[in-house]
Amino acid sequence: MSIVLAGHGLIKKYGSTTALAGVDVEVAARDSLAIMGPSGSGKSTLLHTLAGIIRPDDGQVLLRGERIDRLGENKLSALRRKRFGFVFQFGQLLPELPAEENVALPLMLEGVPRGQAVARARRWFAPLGLDGLEKRRPGQLSGGQAQRVAIARALVIEPDVVFADEPTGALDQHTSEEVVRLLTSVTREQGAALVMVTHDADVAAHCGRILQVRDGRISSHSQYTVA
């Protein structure tokens, strides 16, 4: 099992609040990890620290064995654009762009010419059940369709890791189920690891493993067999 992403001894404090109190976590390629826990327990801080958005006060974050938490800001943001995909609670699609251009954006930011980027973006529509919606603007999509476009946008660069922060938080139960099923399966097929924060146990159950975080520490770590 090759570890893609690891956090060792992660500590993060905000004044007198300890958001992470020494967390160790490892994720392998094609592995999916759900981070659960009460409000304020440190879930988002952990996800953002692993994703190189927040720098830990102590500990290390390693991507394929290379330390990333001490990279300069330019290198770190380039690494995030090239190696990580992100899915947020509210898709955060650009409302004025058609779905296919929203998906193509991360490629264009990397300098891929627009025509090529859109052609590559379109390949993700069928696997995500979005055939025929390429030209729709986000306002013309349902919540579940918009999240599937956001998943395509996260995967288009063929990242090492997809980070998802409450990706189904704004969806009803049926749509959540559909979106998380696609998120976990398409991410695995692409060969990436998935790290997801969720409050929803049904959503977490689609992941290979579940971490419970409490007061900035891992309180339990379970292994699930994905159905």
Q: Which is nearer to ligand ATP, 160 or 165 (CB)?
A: 165
| Residue tagged 């055939």 (tokens) | 131
Q: Give the C-alpha separation, 123 to 63, whole Å.
A: 27
CA-to-CA separations, 104 to 80, 112, 118, 217, in angstroms, rounded: 16, 9, 5, 38
Per-residue tokens: 32: 């999916």
Should residue 106 be labelled a site residue for ligand ATP when binding is judged by CB under 6 A?
no
Burial of 132: CB neighbours in 10 Å, binned 0-12, 13-18, 19+: exposed
Q: Which amino acid is at 59?
A: G
State which of residues 21, 28, 44, 119 lies at the interface with ligand ATP (CB under 6 A): 44
Q: How far is the CB of 55 from ligand ATP (least distance, A)?
A: 12
- 21: helix, coil or strand? strand
User: Nearest distance from residue 215's CB to ligand ATP, in Å?
Assistant: 9
Q: Is 113 in the site for ligand ATP (CB under 6 A)?
A: no
> Using N-to-C axis directions, what is the helix angle for 143-155 and 99-109, rounded to 10°?
20
Among 1, 16, 39, 66, binds ligand ATP (CB under 6 A): 39
Interface pick for ligand ATP out of 7, 37, 106, 144 (rule CB under 6 A): 37
Listed ranges 33-41, 68-76, 145-153, 174-182: which one lies at the site for ligand ATP (CB under 6 A)? 33-41
Least distance (Å) between residue 17 CB and ligand ATP: 5
- Cβ atoms of residues 92 and 138 within 8 Å: no
Q: Which of 2, 9, 24, 40 binds ligand ATP (CB under 6 A)?
A: 40
Q: CB under 6 A: which stretch of 36-44, 57-65, 100-108, 167-175 binds ligand ATP? A: 36-44
| Under rule CB under 6 A, residue 14 binds ligand ATP | yes
C-beta atoms surrounding 4 within 10 Å:
23
16 binds ligand ATP (CB under 6 A): no
- Smaller CB distance to ligand ATP: residue 61 or 186? 61
Distance CA 6, CA 57 (A): 16
Q: Give the rounded distance of the alpha carbon of 62 from its chain centre.
A: 16
Q: Which C-beta is closer to ligand ATP: that of 39 or that of 74?
A: 39
The reply on whether position 7 binds ligand ATP by CB under 6 A is: no
Cβ(46)–Cβ(6) below 8 Å: no
Q: Residues 4, 25, 27, 41: which binds ligand ATP (CB under 6 A)? A: 41
Please name every residue paired with 25 in a beta bridge, in sequence order, or none if there are none. 7
| Sites of contact with ligand ATP (CB under 6 A) | 14, 17, 19, 37, 39-45
